[in-house]
Amino acid sequence: MHRGGLGVALALMVSLATAASARSQEVTAPPGGLVRWPGEDLERCGRGGQAWTPIDGACWYPIDLLEQASSIQIWRDTGGGRESVPVRVADYPYPVQYITLEDDSRVNLSEADAARAARESKRVGALWSTDGPTRFALPLAAPLAELPEGGRFGSRRFFNDQPRSPHSGADFGAAAGTPVLSVAAGTVVMAADLFFSGKSIFVHHGDGLISMYFHLSELAVAEGDEVVRGETVGLVGATGRATGPHLHFGVRWRGARIDPALLLSSPETLPGPR
């Protein structure tokens, strides 16, 4: 074989071997997790028929809290073509949480309250399809100036011994009246007093990322307002279905409920192909 042709063949073999190696990797993530796939010359990221734009030199794949244990395929397009990697969604890893409420009407709803909660759920659900240019950088800013240890994300909850939906956010204890801060620039897409979450703020930060701040005592912004990273959007309270003053902070990314702690810490710690 001509030396030039041999060089091309060897380069092609190396390229194919590298691609095959990437495709053979398997990543494991929990429900409510986030996979990060960094790389160069990234053009598009996707899963199935959905596609989106890379952010900060990486593809990001949110895994919904209720994603069943399975193997899913994620892909990305680069200057060298398309690569695909399997992600194993692990078994549900979160504990059970038992909560006692003195006000049983927040557990066993009246017909009127059930109808109200259903209307509000439908209104909130319409937010998850919101899209637009990315306006955030990771990690996000903290939603409180002094962020205590918090959590219980994913906990399977029992209110007054009755099973309810898993906890899709993180709870942070704080004194009533503590300022609550927007974690990134964005648009307030809802500011309302809701049956379960009380006085609530929803901010869209682009790319389908929505941050949520629940149980507030006061709302400092209104629907349609533009906010910047670190701006006060409300004050800590105990409105809605709450046992005391605290901030429930949650995020949805492209509709997926993910652990907000993953977006508050270094992206380098996230699982993903390397």
133-179 pLDDT, tens digit per residue, is: 999 999 999 999 999 987 789 888 788 777 777 888 999 999 999 99
Percent of the chain scored above 70 by pLDDT?
A: 91
Report helix, strand or coil for 78. Answer: strand
CB 235 within 8 A of CB 176: yes
Average pLDDT, the chain: 89
CB 227 within 8 A of CB 182: yes
Q: For residue range 20-38, list pLDDT tens digits in order.
A: 444 446 799 999 999 999 9
Residue 27: name the closest of 56, 53, 61, 57 by CA.
61
CB 71 within 8 A of CB 86: yes
Question: What integer is the mean pLDDT of 199-216?
Answer: 98
Give the pTM: 0.87
Per-residue three-class SS string for 120-168:
HHHHHHHHHHCCCCCCCCCCCCCCCCCCCCCECCCCEEEECCEECCCCC
Question: What integer is the mean pLDDT of 119-135?
Answer: 96
Amino acid at 46: G
Going from the N-terminus, what domains does the chain have, and what CATH number goes with each? 26-92 (2.60.40.1590), 96-264 (2.70.70.10)
φ, ψ dihedrals at 272, nearest 5°: 165, 165
> Confidence band (pLDDT; 50, 70, 90) for 108?
confident
In this structure, of 31-40, 85-94, 103-112, the range with the lowest mean pLDDT score is 103-112
Question: What integer is the mean pLDDT of 113-129?
Answer: 96
Question: What integer is the mean pLDDT of 86-98?
Answer: 90
Question: What integer is the mean pLDDT of 192-206?
Answer: 97
Which element (helix H / strand E) includes 89?
Answer: strand 81-89
Q: What's residue 207's pLDDT?
A: 97
**Quick check: 255 pLDDT over 70?**
yes
